[in-house]
Chain A
């Protein structure tokens, strides 16, 4: 167990509304990631963070922003949700402390987002 918690786990929202997903980790890992999972596309990296206030874009970052004001929390925001952002969102960390293997990605349980 990598101590990753995602919230909310399920959300339905309307097109054009802002949405924030939260990823919380308890083990002081430096690297955190947001992926989206879609049929036929697998997992695609949205944004990642390599430290507090240090973030960078992944391959599908358009329409998303992130913030990391403290080590344990990595927030993903959809400023104005669109139907194409209906997906399952997974937060992940790179193992670096405790019993987790270094260079291995560990995932949260996922957040199901539906934009109607």
Chain B
């Protein structure tokens, strides 16, 4: 079975402060990990995926297989970063994608 855990329902930070959204996963094989962002009442949008190792909107995430984590980080939060963030996992050989319960990021001006 595959599982994604996002332990924080809400994360509040001040503008300019560093951000870390936590994601832990459980999967026996080699997973693909994703971060999605959802702005108020909009569709979910792909933010980044671990295999591309890119930085989008200043966000980065590194897959740590030893700790089974894929935390999302940004050094300086901006007000426009306020949104819901979902971590997701796709197990190999099967098209099912499992999402975490999401973390709401609130950036305080």
Bound pair (A, B): yes
How many residues of chain B have a CB within 8 Å of chain A? 23
Residues 23-56 of chain B: 1 if any A CB is under 8 Å from the residue's CB, otherwise 0?
0000000001010100001111110010000000
Q: Are B44 and A42 in contact (CB under 8 A)?
A: no
Asked if A40 and B43 sit within 8 Å, CB to CB, the answer is no
User: Is the CB–CB distance between A40 and B101 below 8 Å?
Assistant: yes
For residue B97, which residues in chain A have a CB less than 8 angstroms away from its CB? Answer: 33, 45, 105
**A-B contacts, CB under 8 A, total:** 49
Q: How far is the CA of A88 from the CA of B8 in the complex (A)?
A: 22
Do the beta carbons of A90 and B43 come within 8 Å of each other? yes
Report the minimum CB–CB distance from A95 to chain B (whole Å): 9
A108 to B45, CA, bound (A): 10
Contact A42 B95 (CB under 8 A): no
Given A31-B95, A40-B9, A94-B95, do A105 and B43 touch, yes or no (CB 8 Å)?
no
| Alpha-carbon distance A101/B48, docked complex (angstroms) | 11
Bound-state CA distance A108–B43 (Å) is 6
Taking a contact as CB atoms under 8 Å apart, the answer to whether B44 and A90 are in contact is yes
- B interface list, Cβ under 8 A from A: 6, 9, 32, 34, 36, 41-46, 49, 86, 88, 90, 95-102
Which residues on A are within 8 Å of B, measured CB to CB?
31, 33, 35, 40-45, 48, 50, 58, 90, 94, 101, 103-110
30 A-B residue pairings within 8 Å (CB atoms): A31-B95, A35-B99, A40-B9, A42-B6, A42-B99, A42-B102, A43-B86, A43-B99, A43-B102, A45-B96, A45-B97, A45-B98, A48-B95, A48-B96, A50-B95, A101-B46, A101-B49, A103-B32, A104-B34, A104-B46, A105-B34, A105-B88, A105-B90, A105-B97, A106-B46, A107-B36, A107-B43, A109-B42, A109-B43, A110-B43
